[in-house]
Structure 1
Amino acid sequence: MRLLGSIVLLLVVGSALAYKTYSGYQVLKTAPLTPNVMPYINKMSRIYDFWGTPVVGRPATVMVSPEEASVVNAAFNRLRISHEIMIEDLAPIVEKDFAEQERLMRAIPRQPRVAVYDRYMTYDEINAHVHETIAANPSVASLVDLGLSTEGRELHGIKLSNGAAGQPTVWFDCAIHAREWIAPPVCLRIIDEVLADPALRDLADWYVLPVANPDGYSFSTTDSRFWRKTRRPNPGSTCVGTDPNRNFDFLWDSAGAYCDETFPGSSAFSEPECAGIGNFIAANADSLVLYVALHSYGSLILYPFGHTIEPVPNADDLFAAGQKSADVIASVSGTVYSVENSAAGLYFTFGASDDYAYGIGAAGYAYTYELPGGGLAGFNPPPSRIQGVVDETWPGLKTLVEYTIANPTFPILPTKK
C-alpha cells in the first residue's frame, strides 16, 4: 500500500510539474467601461486575453503575461481607462485549483451513468458518461456523432427523444471555449432532467453536446488552466489553436494573427469541431427551434447579432424569451442575468456559433449564455459552486425551451456583408 501511495503521489507531482504555472501573470481590472472606449477594447480583445465579456457599464478584466503587462497598462493609460491589479500573481491560484482537482478526483471516483457535480469531470469521463447513458436508455437516447477533433477525440453528443416524427429540435453545446469548465455540468444536468421526464421529450427532441472543444478542454485540465482555443497547429507558428467561436461560416472575418486569443482560423470551419456543429445545424434547419451555446463567465444572455448594433426583426421575441429565462434563474437563487443583443454595448464579433444558427435561417431563437463566474480568477468557480450553478440554470433553460416552443419565431436573413 505504501508503494502504491508513493506511485500515485509521484504521478500527481509529475502532472503538477508539467502544468503551466502562470508564474508572474497578472489580472488587471478596469473601471466600468464607457461606450467611447469599446472600439479600442474590441481591438485589444483580439490580441490580449480578456476574461468574461466586456460590457458597457461593467469593469473588464484581462490576463497579461509579464511581457504584456507594461504594454497593456500603457494602452489603458492612453485611453484614460482607470485600472488596478486584481491578481498580482496567478501562480498560487493555479497551483491551488490544480491540487484541489487532483484531490477530488481521488476522493470522488466516477460511477457508471452518474454525472458528478462535486468536482469537474475530465473529457474522458464525460465522453464515457454519454456512451453509458445511451447504452442504458436505448429507447429514448441515441448517439450524435459529429466526427473527430483535430487530435482525434470523439465529438459525441446525445439525442433524447420520444421517437415521434416531426418533433421540434432544441440544441445545447457546452465548453466550446476550453477553460469554461462550469458549462459541461449544466449540459450534463440537461441530460439528467430530460431522461427523467417524458413530458420534456414530448415537447421536443433534445440534442446535447457536453464538450464542444474536446482537445482544448482536455489541455486545460492537464497542461494550461486558462487555455481558450482549439489545439490545431498553425503552420509556421509556435502559437497553437483557433478561437472556435470565431470560426463559424457566418460573416467569418479572416482578420487576426495566429497568436491572437480570437484568431478566427485559416478559413471558416477550418476547425473540425465547428464544422461538425455547423453541419448539424444546417442539416436540421427545418426543425431547429432553439440553439444555445453555454459559456462562462458574465451572467449574460446574448442573442444575435454580434456584428451590428441594428436589431434583428424579431429582436423582441428573442429578448422576451431570454428575459423569461433570466427571471426564473433570479427567482431560484437571486442571480441576475442581463439579456443583451451581442453587439449592443459589447464588443463586435464575427463567426460566432449562435449568429450562424440564426443567420443561415435555422434557429429562430439563438443564444449564448455566459454563466456566472467564480473563484479569484473568474473562470475557476470552486467545485463547491458547481451544484448551485447547475440548480439555478436548469429551470431557466427549461423555461426557455417551453417558451420558444410555445411562441415560434423565425430568423430573418440579413444582408450579406
Structure 2
Amino acid sequence: MLMGSCLQCGSVTLMLLVTVITVDARTLAASDTGAASDIAAASDTEAASDTGAAGDTEAASDTRATSDTAAASDTGAASDTEQLPTNNYQYLDGHQVWRVEEEEGNTTILQQLHVAGVLDVLDHSGPSRTIRVPPESLSEVNYNLQNAGVHYLVLIHDLATYLRDHEVIKLRRGNIGQTCTSSSCPAPLTDAYMTFEQIEWYLRHLATHPRVEVTSIGKSVEGRNIWLVHIMPATTCRGGRSAAVMPRHHQRQKHYRAAKARSIWLEAGLHAREWISVSVALQLIHNMVRECSVGRAVHVYVVPMANPDGYVYTWTHQRMWRKNRRRNHGSNCDGVDLNRNWDFQFGVGASSSPCSEIYQGPSSFSEPETQSLRDAMHQVNSVSKLMLVLALHSYGQLLLYPFGHTTEPAPHTPAMRRLGNIFAQHAKVGSGTVYDVMNSATGLYFSSGSTDDWAKGVLNTKFVYTLELRNKVTFLLNADQIFPTGQEVWDGLRAMIEALTPEKLSE
C-alpha cells in the first residue's frame, strides 16, 4: 500500500499511476474510541458542557516539531523513501508558462481571457501575472496581449518537460498500527507531500485521540469522503492542571465557559493542485492537538482536503488540475471551480464556460463538495458561533479579507485588517516571510462565489480570510518548504487565536 509522497525539484521524474484507496468512515474513525460521531451531536455536547471536552492530561510541548521528528518511525512514518515515476504530466505537453509584465491594464485583459478559458492565471501576487497557456491557445493569447499592448516573457516552453525534469515524487511507507494517546499522536509528514491514501491513514489514527473527532460530512462527485476534523477544547494541559478550576479570578472563569461556545473553521485543498495548503492544514491540526493551551477556549474545525477527487487527479493525471471532477454535460471540459460555486454574489469574476479554470458551475452550490461544506459550516455556526474562518490556498504570500466582488469595504474591515496584521507580524518572526494583508479585490481581479465571501456575507462571521501561502513564484514548492511554511502559518494563527481569546488562562 502506498503510504505517502514527496515533491522535490531538481531531478528527472519518470511515469507512474498512483493507486488511491478510499477508507470508509467506519474504518477511519472507530466508534469504540468515540472518535467519530455526528457533528451536530458532538457540538451540542461540547457547547452544553461546563467542564470541557477532555479529562485526560495533555502533555503539551513547547518544542517545535521538526521534519526529522515527523519522519521518524514512532510518528507513523518510516524513515526510508522510495522514488517512483509519475504520469501526472501527460496532459501538459506543449503548455507554456508566461510572465506578464506589470503594466497598467494587464489585469483586465488577463481576466477576460481567464473567464473565456483560454489561459490559466497561476498566481495572486499582484498586477504582474504568471499564466499557463495551452498549445491550442498560444496564438490567440499572443494576439490579444499584443493587441492590448501587454508584454510578456516565456518562462517555460514546455511545461510537461519542465515538470519531468524538476519534480520528484517520493512515496513514504508508514506504520499503520500506531494509535494516539492523550500525550502523543502520529505526526503528518513534513518532508513529503502526502497522497490521499496517506492523508486518510493519518486521519484514521488521529481519530483515536481523546480530543479529536473525525467525521465524513459528505461525498465528492466520485464518492470520496470529505473529512472534518473537530479538535475539542482541552480542560487540562501540561502537568495535569485544569484550566477549568484554575481561573485568575471568577470573571475569567465566566469568560472561559462562554468561550467554549465559539469556534474557528479552517479549509484546505479546495483547489486540487495547491498541495501545500493540504500539508499546512495537517500541520496545523497536529500542532493544535499537541499544544492544547492554544485552543483550550475554542472548538477548532478543519477540512484538510475539500476537493479529494481533484487532488487524486493531480497525482494520477494532471498536476495542474484546479477544479473538481464534475462531468459537464454538453462540454468536453470537466470540472467546476469550487471556489466560485458558493451562493454569494454568484457569477461575479467567474466564468460560465466549462472550459475555464474559474467555471462557476451551472448554479450556486451545484456541487456536492460545496454543499457538504456549506451544511457543516451552518451546523457548526448554529451550535458554536464561528468567530474566525480561514481558507488556505496558494500562492502569493497574501492574507486576503473580503469582499472579492467589490472594493467596497465589508463589515468589520478595520478589525479584520488589525487581526490580519497580527498574523503577518508573527508569521514573519521565525522565517522572515512577508505576508501582505489586503482586500481580495484590491490589486487583484474580482471574484465571488468563494468560501470567504460566503462566510462573511451569509454567516456574518466577523473575521474571514483567504491565506495565499508561499511563495511569490510558484505553488510547485520543494518538499523542504512544507515544514517552514506550516510553521510560520502556525505562528501567525496561534497569535490570532490568542488575540481573539483574551480569557485564555495561563498554565
| TM-score bracket, shorter-length normalisation | 0.7 to 0.9
The counterpart of 2:190, out of the listed 117, 126, 151, is: 117
Contact residue 55 and residue 347 of structure 1 kept, 8 A: no
Tell me the matched-pair count.
384
SS in 2 for 1:63: strand
Contact residue 289 and residue 362 of structure 1 kept, 8 A: no
SS in 1 for 2:295: helix
**Cα distance, 1:329 vs structure 2:** 1.3
Match of 1:5 in 2: none
Q: State the alpha-carbon separation in 2 of the partners of residues 40 and 406 from structure 1.
A: 47
Q: State the alpha-carbon separation in 2 of the partners of residues 76 and 172 from structure 1.
A: 38
Match of 2:148 in 1: 79
Match of 1:201 in 2: 295
Percent of residue pairs bearing the same amino acid type: 32
SS in 1 for 2:145: helix
Contact residue 94 and residue 225 of structure 1 kept, 8 A: no
Q: State whether structure 2 residue 217 is matched by structure 1 residue 146.
A: yes
Unpaired segments of 5 or more residues in structure 2? 1-13, 18-84, 177-185, 236-256
Contact residue 373 and residue 380 of structure 1 kept, 8 A: no
Q: State whether structure 2 residue 268 is matched by structure 1 residue 169.
A: no
Query: What are the Cα deviations for residues 307-348 of structure 1, in whole angstroms up to 9, with x where unaligned?
Result: 101112311111111111011111211111111111122100
Q: State whether structure 2 residue 95 is matched by structure 1 residue 25.
A: yes
Match of 2:38 in 1: none
SS in 2 for 1:330: helix
The counterpart of 1:261, out of the listed 354, 357, 363, is: 357
Contact residue 334 and residue 355 of structure 2 kept, 8 A: yes
TM-score using structure 1 length: 0.87
CA separation of 1:182 and 1:81: change in aligned 2, threshold 3 A: same
Contact residue 294 and residue 497 of structure 2 kept, 8 A: no
Match of 1:61 in 2: 130
**Bigger RCO (CA 8 Å, 6+ sep):** 2
Q: State whether structure 2 residue 107 is matched by structure 1 residue 38.
A: yes
Match of 2:229 in 1: 158
Q: State the alpha-carbon separation in 2 of the partners of residues 294 and 225 from structure 1.
A: 19
Aligned residue runs from structure 1 range 306-345, under 5 A: 306-345=404-443
Give the partner amino acid of 1:309.
Answer: T
Query: What are the Cα deviations for residues 62-120 of structure 1, in whole angstroms up to 9, with x where unaligned?
Result: 1011111121122111221121101121122322355x11xx21xx3234433111111
Q: State the alpha-carbon separation in 1 of the partners of residues 502 and 336 from structure 2.
A: 37
**Cα distance, 1:255 vs structure 2:** 4.5
Query: What are the Cα deviations for residues 339-390 of structure 1, in whole angstroms up to 9, with x where unaligned?
Result: 111112210001010001111134211110000137xx71210112212211
Contact residue 158 and residue 209 of structure 1 kept, 8 A: yes
**Cα distance, 1:213 vs structure 2:** 0.5
**Cα distance, 1:278 vs structure 2:** 1.0
CA separation of 1:167 and 1:199: change in aligned 2, threshold 3 A: farther
Q: Which moved more, 1:343-352 or 1:278-287?
A: 278-287
Give the partner amino acid of 1:79.
Answer: A
SS in 2 for 1:358: helix
Match of 2:373 in 1: 277
Give the partner amino acid of 1:24.
Answer: G
Query: What are the Cα deviations for residues 123-172 of structure 1, in whole angstroms up to 9, with x where unaligned?
Result: 1211221121012x1x2111232111010111012100137874311011
**Cα distance, 1:32 vs structure 2:** 1.6
CA separation of 1:17 and 1:298: change in aligned 2, threshold 3 A: closer
Deviation >4 Å, runs of 4+: none
TM-score using structure 2 length: 0.72
SS in 1 for 2:174: coil
Q: Which moved more, 1:75-84 or 1:205-214?
A: 75-84
The counterpart of 1:294, out of the listed 377, 386, 392, is: 392
SS in 1 for 2:324: coil
**Cα distance, 1:37 vs structure 2:** 3.6
Unpaired segments of 5 or more residues in structure 1? 1-11, 408-417
Q: State the alpha-carbon separation in 2 of the partners of residues 53 and 221 from structure 1.
A: 23
Q: State whether structure 2 residue 458 is matched by structure 1 residue 360.
A: yes
Query: What are the Cα deviations for residues 220-260 of structure 1, in whole angstroms up to 9, with x where unaligned?
Result: 01110000000011012221100000001111118411111
Contact residue 125 and residue 397 of structure 2 kept, 8 A: no
SS in 2 for 1:265: coil
Q: State the alpha-carbon separation in 2 of the partners of residues 39 and 401 from structure 1.
A: 37
Match of 1:401 in 2: 497
Contact residue 146 and residue 156 of structure 1 kept, 8 A: yes
The counterpart of 2:343, out of the listed 237, 249, 253, is: 249
Query: What are the Cα deviations for residues 256-309 of structure 1, in whole angstroms up to 9, with x where unaligned?
Result: 111111000111111111111111222233510000110000001101000101
Contact residue 282 and residue 362 of structure 1 kept, 8 A: no
Match of 2:403 in 1: 305
Task: Give the structure with the larger helix fraction.
Answer: 1
Contact residue 328 and residue 396 of structure 1 kept, 8 A: yes
Contact residue 234 and residue 293 of structure 2 kept, 8 A: no
SS in 2 for 1:269: coil
CA separation of 1:401 and 1:201: change in aligned 2, threshold 3 A: closer
CA separation of 1:324 and 1:150: change in aligned 2, threshold 3 A: same
SS in 2 for 1:228: coil
Q: State the alpha-carbon separation in 2 of the partners of residues 90 and 20 from structure 1.
A: 8
Give the structure with higher Rg (CA).
Answer: 2
Q: State the alpha-carbon separation in 2 of the partners of residues 109 and 202 from structure 1.
A: 33
SS in 2 for 1:258: coil
Q: State the alpha-carbon separation in 2 of the partners of residues 96 and 142 from structure 1.
A: 41
